Structure 1
Amino acid sequence: MGNVGKTEDIFYDAAILNEVKTKEEVISLLAKDLFEKGYVNEAYCKATLDREDNYPTGLATKPIGIAVPHSNPENVLKEAIVVAVLPQVVKFAEMGNNSSQIDVGIVFMLALKGENNHLNYLKNIVNYFKQQQNVISFHALRSKMQMREIFLKDILQIQQ
């Protein structure tokens, strides 16, 4: 497992996005929240949307895809990760394959400073969601507290 750092260094949040219809709405809502809380600068949202168009982050986990949109480190003021459940899936392009669309129901918005950091988190997220049962049960969550707890304890394996 990659070492993903201590919880006190990074702000972890959870969201349930009931009304979103597009990946742009998902990214904009989460970026706006991070901006309002002082974790990212105002360029973060557009930079993340642009990056998603050029380097998509959809992962074809089964039965529901996940996505890990993020921006360049210069747009991050303080590190944060927001995990969001989308009860109604939205289309994201597949990582490494722009022409393939994935129905995404779980999004991890990464606002991290080091490129290495992204890779460590990605590894933990991918390993956890290789199990279909984990995808199904996480996507069914409607408690932000439970989402945050599973993210920290089971996905990142941070001892609280």
Structure 2
Amino acid sequence: MEIFSELFNKDLILTNLHCSSKNDFFEKVSNYLMEKGYVTENFKKAIKEREQKYPTGLRTAPFHVAIPHTDPENIHTPFIMVVRPDQEIEFVEMGTDDQPVKARFIFVLGLNKSEAQAPLLQKLIEMFMNSEAMNRIVNENDENKIMDILKINVA
């Protein structure tokens, strides 16, 4: 998938990020993405609002995941940010209003081409349910090795 090299970047793989809450997570990630030039100033507000209206927690095994995202107008450069916080962060399960999901991984999607989203999301969800791949990512701290795992499973 040619789109892989356009979206994944080892600078956007954060392992052991300390966040006290989902809100703290959005603050830190939004500031980081803004500093790197990936998102607009409105991104932080927009991603929080979208998450409130349309929760993105996924109850997948072996680890729960969240895939927060916002509208394309808040994205300068398309990306997928991979975050493994130092502790699980509570999101609300997709399709519900109040079912908590303790996410071990958060994949922040910064996409601006809707036609590429469906096949990409399918590949990501397949990887989320691949115990071998997810166990390798949860135990790996080298961004280059995480990129290799992602490339094998998503590209």
Q: Do both share a fold (TM > 0.5)?
A: yes
Instruction: Look up the equivalent residue of 1:123 and give its one-letter code.
Output: Q
- Residue 10 of structure 1 is aligned with which of 7, 12, 17? 7
Q: Does 1:138 align with 2:149?
A: no
Residues in 2 aligned to 1:4 and 1:53: alpha-carbon distance in whole angstroms: 32
Q: Which residue number corresponds to residue 80 of structure 1?
A: 79
Query: CA–CA distance in 1 between the matches of 2:97 and 2:67?
Result: 15
| 1:26/1:4 CA distance change after superposition, 3 Å | farther
User: Do 2:16 and 2:84's aligned partners in 1 also have CA atoms closer than 8 Å?
Assistant: yes
CA distance in 2, matches of 1:6, 1:138: 17
1:32-71 matches, within 5 Å, as 32-71=31-70
The AA in structure 2 aligned to 1:146 is: K
Residues 124, 11 of structure 1: CA spacing in aligned structure 2 closer, same or farther, 3 A cutoff?
closer
Report % sequence identity. Answer: 26
SS in 2 for 1:99: coil
CA gap 1:6/1:126 in 2 versus in 1, 3 angstroms: closer
TM-score (norm 1): 0.86
Displacement of 1:119 in angstroms is 2.6
| Alpha carbons 1:22, 1:91 under 8 Å: kept | yes
- Deviation string 1:102-155 (CA, Å, 9 cap, x unpaired) is 11011111111023333332211101121233333322222222222212x123
Amino acid at match of 2:3: G
- Code of the aligned partner of 1:134: A
The whole-number CA distance in structure 1 between the counterparts of 2:73 and 2:94 is 22
* Residues in 2 aligned to 1:84 and 1:95: alpha-carbon distance in whole angstroms: 19
Which of structure 1's runs of 4+ aligned residues deviate more than 6 A? none
Structure 2: gaps spanning 5 or more residues: none
C-alpha displacement of 1:38? 0.9
Secondary structure of 1:46's counterpart equals helix
1 or 2, which has the higher helix percentage?
Answer: 2
Report which stretch shifted further, 16-25 or 99-108.
16-25
Higher mean alpha-carbon deviation, 42-51 vs 135-144, is at: 135-144
- 2:152 is the counterpart of 1:154: yes
TM-score between the two structures when normalised by the length of structure 2: 0.88
Cα deviation, residue 4, structure 1: 5.9
